[in-house]
Structure formats: C-alpha cells, structure tokens
Amino acid sequence: MIRLPSGSALHLHNQEAILKYLPSPARPRLLCASALLALLVFQGTATLAATPKDTLVIARGVDDIITLDPAETFEVSTGEIMGNIYDRLVRLDLKDPTKLVADVAKSWTVSPDGRTYAFELRSGLKFPSGNALTAEDVAYSLHRVVVLDKTPAFILTQFGFNKDNVKDRIRATGPLTLTLETDKPYAPSFFLNCLTANVGAIVDRKLLLSKEQNGDWGYAWLKTHYAGSGPMKLREWRANEIVALERNDGHYGEKPKLARVIYRHVKESATQRLLLEKGDIDVARNLSPQDIAALSVNQDVKLTSAPKATVYYISLNQKNATLAKPEVREAFKWLIDYAAIGDTLIKNIGVNHQNFLPMGLLGASKENPYKLDIEKARALLAKAGVPKGFKVTIDTRTIEPEQGIVEAFQQTVRRAGVEIEIIPGDGKQVLTRYRARKHDMFLSPWGVDYWDPHSNADAFARNLDNADDAKFKSLAWRNAWAIPELSKKTDAAVLERDAEKRKAMYEELQAEFRRTSPFIVLYQQIEVAALRSNVDGLQLGPSFDTTYLFKVSKR
C-alpha cells in the first residue's frame, strides 16, 4: 500500500474545488483524476490524467495569505499573486533587475532638483470592469496606501507623503499625466524602484468608490476581491485551499497564453512530488532537496531555478530579558550548524549567507564569520549569567525547510543547555503573533520589497521608535531592538547619491549588524520549481512579486 503524507484529504478536496474554474470538457478528466488519487491512497494504483492545456495548476503552500488588498498585503505568496493581477507605473527588468521597464507609464522625467517626477500614461487602458484607467486612478491608488497606512505604507511615506499632504504631492495633471513630489532629492533609482512594489499597484477608483463603507476606501471589500488591471485577474481565493486566476483579455500587453492559473495549497514536499509525477499538477514550488534530486532523473519533469533576493533568519525578541543579553545573542550565532544545514536541508535551494543584504544588491557582503562552536557558545552563556542554559520558545511555519531547520536548531542548542519549545502554526498564525511582538524567537524568510539596499536595511537596521504603538514597525521593531544610532546610519545611506560611497556605507552597516543584532541570518534562497515537460516560459523572478505566470504556456 502506498501512503500519502498527512493532509491528503485536504488535497483531494482542493482538486475537486478546481473543477468549478474549468470548462465543462475538462471536468470528467479531473473527476477521474480525483477518483484515481483516492484509489491511490487506499489501493496504491494507477496513473492520473493530465491537467487541461489552457490551465496551469501549481502546488504551493499559500497559508500565509492574509489579505488581497495591495495597500495591506505584505506576505510572500500574495506578492506573487499581486505581481500577476495588478499593473503599476513601472516594473523591474527581469533581464537586469537594476533597470526598470515601463508598465502603464509611457514615459517619465525627473526635475533638475530631483524632487518632482512627471509621468505620462499609455492611452486606451481599461480595467476589467470597463472603466478607463487614468491618472486619477494612479493618484487615488497611491493616496489610498498613504491614508489607510497599513504595514507596507512606509514604502511610500518614507518620501514625505502623509495623510495631510498626499493629495497635493501626488496629483493628476491631466487624464494621462500625473506628478509625484518627494520631500528630499532621493536617488531616482531608489524612488522609482519603490513604485515597483505592491503598494504601487493601480486599483480601479470608480469600482472601489462603489464598494466603500463609511469612507473606508473599499478596504473591507478588497480584502477578498479584486480591482486591478493586470495580465491576469483574480477569480477567487479560499484560505488554505485555492487561489484561482483568469486571463484578462482586456489587458494592454501581449495576452497570456493560459486561460487560468490555479494555486493549490499543498505544503508537503512528498505530496507535491507525487502529484507532479502523476500529472495532477503542472508545477511544484515547495520541494525538499531530496525530492528535487529524485525528480531530476524523471524524463517527464524539468527543473528551473534562480537566485532569490530572499534571506532566511532567526530573530530573538529583545522583550525577553535573557535573549536581550548581548552574550546570548552572540552565543546563538555560534549554535547554528551552518555546514550541516547547507549540505542537507537547503542543498540546491539556498546558500550560506549571514548578512541582511542578499547578493545582487548594492553593498551586499560576502562575509560569513560564524560556524558551529559549542564551547564558544557555552562560554558566552556563562558570561551572560546562564551557564546551565535556559528555556525559550520559537515560532515557525509548518512548511519545509523552516520546520526542518528549527528542529535541527533545537537539537544543536540543547548541547549548550538551551531547551527550545517549537510553536508551529500556519503562515497567518505565526505572522500575526510575530507582528504583535508576542514571540520569543521566530524563523522566517524576508524578501526585498523593491530592488534597492534600503529595502532590507530599513527592515533589519532601522527602528527609531521602539514603543508598542510605534507607527513604523520594521523587523527590528518586531524584535524590540532599539537602535537609534544604527537607524541614523541607515537614514544617511539612503540619501547618499554616490554609488561607491553608498556601497561602503551598507558594508559597514552589515558588519555592525552581524556583531550586535538579535538576528541570525542563515542563508539566501535559491528558488527551485519542478514542472512538467510540456510547460514553457516559467522564469522565477528575483523578488517574490516578479514570477510572471502570464508569460507561461503549455504544449
């Protein structure tokens, strides 16, 4: 008898849910597939039918999705969805992420004083609702982010925009023209790159005005609905189950070759591998090194990979008096078996990297000074006044490789007398606790929000207000790490317009961060996807919102 990993019943339910998104000719095949998968669970038999040619079915853990509002979403899975269903003024050039390409903007200029950006939009653009996409929609979208002031709003407010001035500083000057005026002359590449982030997504103003409740800018409605104009459009999201996207035939660009893209929430690598081998899905996205190796010899499957501007880290909440001791922070950095993790848990999906800037960004450091050293860690713990160790908890998402890394970490620190209790949960659960500073320790990925070193420096090395009700809630704030002087250095680096000087400033920031921070940066991600051999055009993007599924086709 062949046994599937736990959760298979959920996957069967997910597969049946897919049927409603498919044209009727495809339904008997998937009904057959569901029946055969059930048969496989109980009797160990048979081959599954292929997915329809016009539909891409992806298996991925998507339990971190909390909202679909681009003014609020700040999660990895949602980032990819936003990149496919929402247009923005500009996007990253995937051939060279240090460059930009126009999206709905036709052209743009920067004033001589470096503070005013003027955009001209393409003509004839429309939302799926039939409403014209104009400069008023762009201005409204950016106003909405600033006024709602949700977690990612800082990407815009860092340029001096606030509730009182945003309508004057960001304004339509004609049906297809608008200007944005910053408070200081930032490097143009920095400002424009911020507009590629999801907070730069353009929403349908007329549609959202019709959905407003008590002046909420359509916030309650957009949590689970769609108001974009991208190459794909949202059909439905069912939490921890399925996300369905459809082709937007009215998009200005080249039309997607696929009629739909369906994400199935499948967390277990072994289940993803089985579904891919049987042809029940087209792409697997959360595979372990072992399953990647097994699939590499399957002639019906091909692999694609790309370095990701995402780092994985363990953080220590400084509200915990023991974790706040400098010697304890340093001891944990010597209690990671980086080599063993690299050879097993992240083999082919990550590389050892101990800095907050991922390689590929200006100023990224290659310094990796830490290695497993139990005796050095013991000496530091003794110096901190806890020679016999202590007990602590760590929150983690129940998905690989996070879960495996936490379990390996748990075993290693025990050799120094530290007892770690693992608190597992789905993405929404652990992120909610983390953002409320209710954790002791936390393991998580962090990807850049825009292609500039300030994206991560702002997150890891800036916290000017450590109060619980602080307005700006960076990763440093989430871990109660009060760093006024380091924050000032971060602020200075973002204003430096000389590239070489700016590069040196970020290298200095990272050196101080490695020595003193409550963050243990473990590795930089190499994203790997396994796909059926008839899938073409899947290019994994450098950031979490640049994997463009609208470019994919099937044979």
What's the pTM value of the predicted model, to 2 decimals? Answer: 0.83
**DSSP secondary structure string for all residues of 363-405:** T----------HHHHHHHHHHTT-TT--EEEEEEESSTTHHHH
Q: What's the pLDDT tens digit per position in 188-225?
A: 989 999 999 999 999 999 999 999 999 999 999 999 99
Q: Are the beta carbons of 552 and 56 closer than 8 angstroms?
A: yes
Residues pairing with 238 in the sheet: 242
Of 204, 209, 200, 254, nearest to 234 (Cα)? 204
Among 334, 414, 331, residue whose Cα is nearest residue 370: 334
Same domain for 154 and 272, yes or no, is: no
Work out the angle at residue 156's Cα, subtended by the Cα atoms of residues 544 and 446, and round it to the nearest 5 degrees: 30
Q: Is residue 73 part of a domain?
A: no
**Mean pLDDT over all residues of the chain?**
91
Tokens at residue 395, please?
A: 């929150």
Domains held by the chain: number? 3
Question: Which one of 222, 245, 272 terminates a domain?
Answer: 222
Is residue 45 one of the residues assigned to a domain? yes
Cis peptide bond upstream of 70, omega within 30: no
- Is residue 74 situated within a structural domain? no
pLDDT attached to residue 47: 44
Q: Does residue 252 sit in the same domain as residue 360?
A: no
Residues 156 and 131 occupy one common structural domain: yes
Tokens found for residue 177: 């023209």
Residue 541 sits in a domain whose CATH number is 3.40.190.10
Which residues in 449-475 are b (16+ Cβ under 10 Å) and which e? bbbbbbbbbbbbbbbbebeeeeebbbb
Look at residue 110 and tell me if it is in a domain.
yes
- DSSP 8-state class, residue 245: E
- Out of 222, 255, 272, a domain closes at 222
329 and 478 fall within a common domain: yes
**Co-location of 294 and 314 in the same domain:** no
Q: Which residues pair with 396 in a beta bridge?
A: 424
For residue 295, give its domain range: 8-67+230-300+533-554
Contact present, 320 and 553 (Cβ < 8 Å): no
Cβ neighbors of 50 (< 8 A, separation 6 or more) are 29, 279, 532
pLDDT (0 to 100) of residue 36? 33
Residue 82 within any structural domain of the chain? no
> Which CATH number is 438's domain given?
3.10.105.10
CATH code for the domain of 167: 3.90.76.10
Is there a single domain that holds both residue 415 and residue 324? yes
108 and 180 belong to one structural domain: yes
Residue 217: CB atoms within 10 Å: 23
Structure tokens at 99: 């460059």
Last residue of a domain, one of 192, 222, 252: 222
Which residues of the chain fall short of a pLDDT of 50?
1-19, 21-48
| Encoded amino acid at 534, one letter | N
Q: What is the pLDDT of residue 497?
A: 82
Which residues have a Cβ under 8 Å from the Cβ of 141 and sit 6 or more positions away? 70, 200, 201, 202, 203, 205
CA separation for the pair 487, 463 (Å, rounded): 6
Question: Within a domain: residue 2?
Answer: no
477 and 383 part of one domain: yes
Do 376 and 250 share a structural domain? no
- Residue 49 is predicted with a pLDDT of 60
- Decide: 82 and 548 in contact? Cβ < 8 Å: no
Tell me, yes or no, whether 516 and 544 share the same domain: no
Q: Model confidence over 75-105: pLDDT tens digits?
A: 999 999 999 999 999 999 999 998 999 999 9
- Residue 1 in any domain: the answer is no
Q: Are residues 455 and 538 in the same domain?
A: no
Kindly state whether residue 319 falls inside one of the protein's structural domains. yes
Q: Are 52 and 91 in the same domain?
A: no
β partners of residue 425:
397
> What is the biggest distance separating any 2 CA atoms in the chain, rounded to whole angstroms?
72
